Amino acid sequence: MAERIHSRPTDGLSYNSTEAKYWDRAGLDKEIERVFDICHGCRLCFNLCPSFPALFDAIDRNDGEVRGMTAAEKERVFDLCYGCKLCELKCPYTPHDGHEFQLDFPRLILRAKAVNAKEAGVKLRERVLAHPDQLGKIGATAPKIANWGCRQKFQRVVMEKMLGIHRDKLLPDFAGETFEKWLKRNPLPPEPAEPAAKVAIFPTCFVNYYNPEPGKAAVEVFAKNGCAVKCPRQNCCGMPAMDGGDVEFARKEARKNIDSMLPLVRQGYKIAAINPTCSLMMRLEYPRLIEGDEVKEFSAAIVDCHELLYHLRRAGKFNKDFLSTPGTIAYHVPCHLKAQDIGLRSRDLMRQIPGVEVTTVDACTAHDGTWAMKKEFFALSMKWGEKAFDGMREAGASVMATDCPLAAVQIQQATGVRPMHPIEVLARAYKRGGFPDAVPAPQPPQGE
């Protein structure tokens, strides 16, 4: 008789890539077996993402025996996990909750991808998608041509065949002017004599190369609230690389960001990220990529941009001199914002605008990094995002908003409307006539 699978951690437990045992295949296999067995017996996360139904179906086909799963069945579970982290929030057995099982499904999957990549090499598609700064720089050299090319059917078919990027996936347009170039033309506001806070904005590579408007809005809003504002040299947070299993490149990206921005942290600046994925990565994952007190010091200074503004509100320092209102807002909650356990501060701040009514849509769009872009997962991503899409449509709001730029792309693909970033909503509300172009959300067909 085979030995029973115990629920307590094995000697192979590790969620930290700086530990030698993190890279041990035998230890990883023991943890996969243990965690999969717990999840199969619990099934609390059956409806969160396609990874869990695939896991449960595979074990059920083997008469409930995890050890009967084939390597291909396990790989399918890994591939279908897109790292939303909702299961970690829902799971009662996590390290976050202090439970003895120490179960962290998303980090186990990241470890599996990392070990696979170390043994077999990082695949071409993952290497390409792990370098958003390089892709952005290429597109920024001739954005009109790049955007035209990305809309051509032949070009998209070639891209699908060569890189596995689905031909129908909506790709964001490259901006005519990057956020970095805009900053060179528009000097940052002078530092107040007694700043309400010191803020180093982390605009993210997406804001820099594709949609600079949230970055511009962040500068305006922080200045409006009496903050000292800087935009230091920075690069991708490293999440795309880590998601593709390229831990070493993710570590290099993290190291460069720490070296660049830690001096500002030591001057009392908070690093305010516009993208929740970036704040999650720098706050929660950097200490698992790099050892030492410096990374802990850096990560402790990471905030979501609205989190910082909310602290100003709590201190009575938030500027409420709003001159216009969007009226109704459909607000989508990003999964990676929820995973940071800081509350829905962007929603709370938008509610400070007179005449605003916010409908909160708490559902994953299933874009999650680069997963929805991939040929084999695009249709599945649209299926698993339906609850979010329907919620945004059915709100019937004059403005859609979300903190996540990729969720915004996914919502636009499904509804035809591109949501604004909440920091843009605040910036416009400070201006008279800030919402002349508010577009009502499309309504669902009658009878559905």
Residue-wise pLDDT tens digits, 22-50? 999 999 999 999 999 999 999 999 999 99
Q: Read off the pLDDT of residues 348-381 as tens digits, 9 standing for 90 and up.
A: 999 999 999 999 999 999 998 899 999 999 999 9
Q: What is the band of 2 on the pLDDT scale with cuts at 50, 70, 90?
A: low
Of residues 348, 357, 355, 327, the one with CA closest to residue 403:
348
**Interatomic CA distance for residues 13 and 367, integer angstroms:** 29
Phi and psi (nearest 5°) for 283? -80, -45
pTM of the model: 0.93
- What's the CA gap between 294 and 411, in Å, rounded? 38
The arithmetic mean of pLDDT across residues 185-211, rounded, is: 94
DSSP 11: T
The answer, yes or no, to whether residue 443 has pLDDT greater than 60, is: no
241-266 pLDDT tens trace: 999 999 999 999 999 999 999 999 99
Nearest to 389 by CA among 373, 369, 409, 368: 409
State residue 387's pLDDT score: 97
The pLDDT value given to residue 279: 97
Continuous H helices in 237-384: 239-243, 247-265, 276-280, 286-289, 293-299, 305-314, 335-338, 345-350, 378-384
What are the helix (H) ranges across 121-274?
A: 124-129, 132-141, 143-150, 153-163, 179-185, 204-209, 213-224, 239-243, 247-265
CA-wise closest residue to 289 among 327, 329, 254: 254
Q: Say how far apart CA 270 and CA 183 lie, in whole Å.
A: 19
Model confidence at 447: pLDDT above 50 = no
Class of domain 328-429: alpha beta
At 442, the pLDDT band (50, 70, 90 cuts) reads: very low
Q: How confident is the model at residue 3 (pLDDT cuts 50, 70, 90)?
A: confident
At 438, is the pLDDT very low, low, confident or very high (cuts 50, 70, 90)?
low
Cα dihedral 302, 305, 307, 311, rounded to 10, equals: 100
Q: Domain extents for the chain?
A: 20-120, 328-429
Mean predicted lDDT score pLDDT of the chain: 94
Query: For residues 400 and 438, is the Cβ–Cβ distance under 8 A?
Result: no
Q: Provide the token pair at 383.
A: 């299926």
Q: CA 286, 291, 294, 300: dihedral to nearest 10 degrees? A: 40
Average pLDDT over residues 118-132: 92
Average pLDDT over residues 196-204: 95
